[in-house]
Structure 1
Amino acid sequence: MTTTRELPRSNPEAEGLDPAAVRRLVENLDGLDAVHSFMLLRHGKVVAEGWWSPYDAETPHLMFSVSKSFTSIAVGLAFVDGLFDLDDKVLDHFAAEAPEAPSDNLRAMTIRHLLTMSTGHAASTMEAIVPTNLGMQESDWVRQILAQPVPDEPGSRFLYNTGATYLAGVIVQRLTGRRLLDYLGERVLEPLGFQGATWEQDPDGLDVGGYGMRVRTEDLAKLGQFCLQQGHWDGEQLIPGEWIEAATSRQIHSTHDDWPEWRQGYGFQFWRSRFGAYRADGAFGQYSIVWPDHDVVLAITSGVQNLQSVQDAVWDALLPSLDPVAARDAGLPHDAPGRVLPAGGSQTPPVVAPPEGGITWDLHLPRPTGERTRPGTPVTGRTYRMSPNDGGLEALELDLDDDGRLVLREDIGGKRRTLTLGHGEWVRQDVELADGPEELACAAAWTEPNTLVVRMVAVGAPFTFTLTLRFDGDDVTVSLDQNVAFGDTHLLDATGTAARPEPEPTI
């Protein structure tokens, strides 16, 4: 993908947006746990954007279930190419993988049911997370999904089901003979100027469809603008507008106990939102929000557990100036000035106006605060041997590099991992994690005389890890936590003791 067609820039006033509302949007987002980037478009132009350091504009970010919306567009392309009908039976495309005696409900399942998450399953057939947590480490995922019971009549109710998206994506790949990324890339992503997009694959080399894409924030914004323009881009109709209209319209009722944004209905792999908007939506706060009534698109990447909080921050900021009546009806102050919410990272961030227009905000995630060096007895140069623990941490040691920065070395599962830790700055480095290589940005500080806090940000993903080391004489206590996860966010507790130096040999 070599074509580069970046979005045009402007400023809020030129595009009819209240600058105070834009500032309030940034302050609201900055007040959440960990928003990583945003890009706000009005009338097809970027009027404000920002990345919370160490995140940046060029590094693709993991999208989780935003990938489903890309799969929807690929399905739409194959459909308008005449490769299948939405009411085709699923088993007609998977005869070889079908159970020996498929149930009537499985026989009745169609591609339309896959797209609307109404397959009749009682639980998701696969979670939107890496394969090691899917219970599907082996190949032939199609056969495993089709073997699961279908107790309800397809079409009777909505149940979020990543396995349904996977099956829809496999159908496209089989009929086109191409990866989703390549098929979609040639027809849509390349004309839109996407750069560096990737898609995770299953053990059989199939793009997994329901998760696993990585794209830049600007490309996430392009997805929303492409949908707002009903599939039209740069003078060409890349996909019929009728498909975008159907995919982003409410096709089925959806429910959620706590979050109103998830009660607005579901289309073909797109969610409906309040106030006439819709969105591509991924775990931990990845969004491309499209607001047709006001010609607005907003791309956001995050690492938050409360997904509703991100969209509440958006409506609180933008709705009062764009739709005061709706804001009043929703209980929002329709004449509120810009506010700084508590617990943010940057607070009242300064703005930078680039020459081409638009506003770029100077933002950062909070780093550990404290001393650069430990007061009192140093702990560098000592190797701490760890007691048996669930994380496989065998030993650790601290040292200093030539620039005086702390270096943490960890022996995990027989392998050594080295991290350079910035103080008051993020140090980016490639690190081998349990799930594969990842670029981490690391910073540390002595928050107390005996306590070193290390923060490690996966700059291509929503994950931040906090390692806390507490030293007491020859002993160390270690804990490791993760900001967001599908399971437990507390990852490790361990203790260790400094190894005694070997005695000098005697003659």
Structure 2
Amino acid sequence: MNSEKGRRGMAFWLVATACAIAVIAGVFIGINRLVERRGDLTIPLAVPEGVVEAFRESTPEAQGFSSRLLAAGIRSIVESGASMHSFMMMRGGAVFLDAYFPPYDGTVYHKLASVTKSVTATLVGIAIDEGYLRLDDPVLEYFPERTVSDPDGRKAGITIRHLLTMTSGLEGDARDAEPQTLRMRETSDWVQFALDRQLAREPGTAFVYSNLDMHLLSALINAATGRSAEEYGREKLFGPLGITDLFWDSDPQGNSRGWGDLCLLPRDLAKIGLLYMQGGVWHGERIVSQGWIDESTRRQVSLSGSRPEDYGYGIWVSNANEPFRYFIFSGVGGQMLRVYPEFEFIIVTTGGTFESAIAMEAVGAAFAGPGKAFREDAAGVAELRAVVAPKVAAPAPIPFATMPAIAAEISGKTYRFPDNPLNLATCSFRFDGTAQAAFEFKNHGDANARQARVGLDGRYRISLSGLPTYLKGAWIDADSFEMVFNEGPDMEIIPMSFTFSGGYIEVSVGDASAGGRIILRGESD
């Protein structure tokens, strides 16, 4: 479900994320000089050799950071009202910061937006390692049953390498990939829509950020292996890493959404960072080839200063001017996995409309700096633990009003909607007199409906039948119910109101004051 407000916000988030990446690029300048001793201050640069998957705990001071300054930074984040949900830092497999912020508590998977692209690319790499795909294979060879719009025959030159580097030449908007994605999702066959785009430039000649190119990579995995990217990933990547709590939505034909909507726990995202840091090996088992790790995190496309980073195979990589190498899995709203391989340093953040620059300011302020370090500080560690220990303080429940008579009348009824901008096909409620209701909805083109819980006491209820959804609501008069639909969480917050009259329903979606309200009308079965 998408609101106009949410769509407009996408462009802002993309810009914000780019700005954040630019800010953090300089945070760790000089870390490679932390190799000496200064008086009685031990500079702990040495890291364990070999496999370091175990998430053991450490103190920030043992890793060259100040607990007190990290605590101050986290307080500042909380007080700013930033929609950051998790902030994790680890080095050499040792976790020294693991913080969570409302409404997220780290116990359920989180939507990762375009971080998904890098995971899709990883699965392509595994499929190449296993011989299912080859980098320079023409894309159209994997779809022989499709008739693709190709007036001059030039699409035969598009290869898997071009999709991985976003240089396919297929039509796309370099400023904002979202409108084209929405048009694709309005069709019954997303892969066909992606393949039928006009060839706007010669393949391999220009970088254009594209959700559709990444979705084609997911379809290629399906075509070559006979399994969706999610199914293939569960066997070849997620399963071996012990990642079981995940969700990955698909298109009408069952292809996992290659560009976005993968949901993982932050710690499980960090596992993928560790896998890359260890050259593709996990507990002695080869998951991804060293060759793919090296090539995918190496500059394949130079963006010549137009962006803070260059591009590898589905991964943002440090440019040639950086004093040390890093790479990023990056998604809108503050979703980020950032890895410094030479220093075995990993940062993971998740958020809603969060600018990760805020978190990186806290990191920079707490970093010891070139040639410096911090003594162990038990009081500082205790202060940091006190700041992050509550994790998420749920709001106190509020008494919910007696339900109007119409709540029982409409409970269990299914309302159907004609084609509409939100793509909503059906919805229904169930009220049983408790502080929690049930809400079920289905979008046009979806195979199954989604079930969600709605808190009626002022507290969100979390539902995981699909993308993580947080809902709360209240009856405001005899026939109107208001609800907050929070997906991600906080990646799309949509106020909704439902007015019932006889066998009809009117749904108002969005914020009228922001000019984004959409009115839908439906009828019960």
- Structure 1 length as normaliser, TM-score? 0.68
Inter-partner Cα distance in structure 2 for 1:230 and 1:431: 33
- 1:339 aligned partner: none
Of residues 422, 426, 440 in structure 1, which corresponds to 2:470? 440
- Distance apart, 1:28 and its partner CA: 5.1
Counterpart contact for 2:468–2:489, Cα < 8 Å? yes
Residue 490 (structure 1) aligned with residue 516 (structure 2): yes
Residue 265 (structure 1) aligned with residue 310 (structure 2): yes
Inter-partner Cα distance in structure 2 for 1:77 and 1:410: 37
- 1:48 aligned partner: 97
Inter-partner Cα distance in structure 1 for 2:224 and 2:125: 13
Q: CA RMSD in A?
A: 4.9
Residue 318 (structure 1) aligned with residue 363 (structure 2): yes
Q: When you count strand as a share of all residues, which structure comes out higher?
A: 1
My pick for the range that moved more, 460-469 or 154-163, is 460-469
Of residues 456, 465, 468 in structure 2, which corresponds to 1:421? 456
* Equivalences for residues 214-363 of structure 1 within 5 A: 214-254=263-303, 262-272=307-317, 276-304=325-353, 309-310=355-356, 312-320=357-365, 322=367, 324=369, 351-352=384-385, 360-363=388-391
Q: Helix, strand or coil: the match of 1:288? A: strand
Counterpart contact for 2:110–2:489, Cα < 8 Å? yes
- Distance apart, 1:7 and its partner CA: 2.7
Q: Helix, strand or coil: the match of 2:296? A: helix
Of residues 66, 71, 75 in structure 2, which corresponds to 1:18? 66
Q: Which structure exhibits the higher relative contact order, with contacts defined as CA atoms closer than 8 Å and separated by 6 or more residues? A: 2
- Distance apart, 1:64 and its partner CA: 1.9
- Distance apart, 1:390 and its partner CA: 9.1
Q: Helix, strand or coil: the match of 1:47? A: strand
- 1:462 aligned partner: 491
Residue 198 (structure 1) aligned with residue 247 (structure 2): yes
* Equivalences for residues 144-155 of structure 1 within 5 A: 144-155=193-204
- Distance apart, 1:66 and its partner CA: 1.2
- 1:57 aligned partner: 106
Inter-partner Cα distance in structure 1 for 2:489 and 2:242: 20
- 2:30 aligned partner: none
Provide Cα deviations, 1:186-205, integer angstroms capped at 9, x if missing partner: 22211211122222122112
Counterpart contact for 2:181–2:211, Cα < 8 Å? no
* Equivalences for residues 86-235 of structure 1 within 5 A: 86-99=135-148, 101-103=150-152, 105-123=154-172, 134-139=184-189, 141-235=190-284
Counterpart contact for 2:169–2:199, Cα < 8 Å? yes
* Equivalences for residues 56-75 of structure 1 within 5 A: 56-75=105-124
Inter-partner Cα distance in structure 2 for 1:238 and 1:406: 44
Identity of aligned residues (%): 24
- Structure 2 length as normaliser, TM-score? 0.66
Inter-partner Cα distance in structure 2 for 1:32 and 1:245: 39
Inter-partner Cα distance in structure 2 for 1:441 and 1:93: 42
Instruction: Mark the runs of 5 or more structure 2 residues left unpaired by the alignment.
Output: 1-52, 375-381, 411-419, 444-448, 499-506, 521-525
- Distance apart, 1:221 and its partner CA: 1.4
- 1:500 aligned partner: none
Counterpart contact for 1:197–1:215, Cα < 8 Å? yes
Inter-partner Cα distance in structure 1 for 2:385 and 2:475: 29
**How many residue pairs get matched?**
427
- Distance apart, 1:116 and its partner CA: 0.4
Cα 1:185–1:429 change in 2 (3 A) is closer
Cα 1:437–1:285 change in 2 (3 A) is closer
* Equivalences for residues 386-405 of structure 1 within 5 A: none
- 2:14 aligned partner: none
Amino acid at match of 1:267: G
Amino acid at match of 2:351: S
